Amino acid sequence: MLDRILIRPRAVRTSSESRLRALGFEVNPHLPYLDRTKARPHREVASRAMVLMALLQVYFHAPPSAISDWLRENRLLPHLSPSETALLPVSRDELSEQQLADRFWTIEALWALAWVGSLVDDLPFDRPVGGTLASMLPDIGKREPAEPFVRSYRCRPYHDLFRQVDLHYRAHWFARHCHLRGIETKVVDLDIILERRKALEWVLDRSTPWDEITLDT
């Protein structure tokens, strides 16, 4: 709680802008500073990571019934969002092209939650998920339980989470700016930052459900 009170949003904004400029980003000085929010409990964040991991397996041809059974056995069904619940029985072949793409890109949201739990050290804007992700997570194919991961998961300190959200918010503006104007940039990938920012914003927004997280810039 004290960590949250001591956050100075204006100073965080200045720090984010300096860091992004050093990386070759253009920054928008008119973007507001972010308000302090309240982080979700460790267990809730870990459970969301398990849900994302499980649903991602459908992209890699896992049968929906096997995913449903694993989620049920691990008491994770209540952690699915309404949109996720609706698509849970749907096989890979039945997903639309957009739904399939959306399912694939959630791997980046999962990678962001791995960072939140200190399982990875950094989230470079121009690099996709690392190859070590699978080794950090339970193996659904072997029916490994989720509880050891959930029980051991601990979120980073609030000030680290807040700074990362602020950094992604400002980097997202540049990525979208380039995309809308057809400008090629090697310093940030829009698809990567969209998914990671959604996960980070959700962690620091207890009042907004997963399906309703907005990514305004």
Q: What is the pLDDT of residue 5?
A: 61
Alpha-helical (H) ranges within the chain are: 2-6, 9-22, 42-59, 64-73, 82-87, 97-116, 133-136, 147-152, 158-181, 190-203
- Cα separation, 72 vs 209, in Å, equals 21
Asked if the model's pLDDT at residue 4 lies above 70, the reply is no
User: What pTM does this model have?
Assistant: 0.94
Give the C-alpha separation, 199 to 9, whole Å: 20
Mean pLDDT value of segment 40-54: 98
One-letter amino acid identity for 139?
A: D
Average pLDDT over residues 13-20: 96
Cα(58)–Cα(95) distance, rounded to whole angstroms? 10
Confidence (pLDDT) at 1: 54
The more confident residue out of 147 and 3 is 147
Tens digits of per-residue pLDDT, 79-122? 999 999 999 999 999 999 999 999 999 999 999 999 999 999 99
Q: What integer pLDDT is reported at residue 58 of this predicted model?
A: 94
Residue extents of the structural domains in the chain? 2-212
Amino acid at 75: R
pLDDT of residue 104: 94
Give the pLDDT of residue 140. Answer: 95
Q: What is the pLDDT of residue 3?
A: 62
> What's the average model confidence in pLDDT over 163-179?
96
- For the cut 60, the answer to whether the pLDDT of residue 126 exceeds it is yes
Query: pLDDT at position 130, please?
Result: 86
Query: What does 178-206 look like in DSSP terms, one character per residue?
Result: HHHHT---SS--HHHHHHHHHHHHHHT-T
pLDDT value of residue 146? 98
pLDDT of residue 111: 97
Mean pLDDT (the chain) is 94
How do residues 53-84 score in pLDDT, each as one tens digit? 999 999 999 999 999 999 999 999 999 999 99
Residue type, 72: R
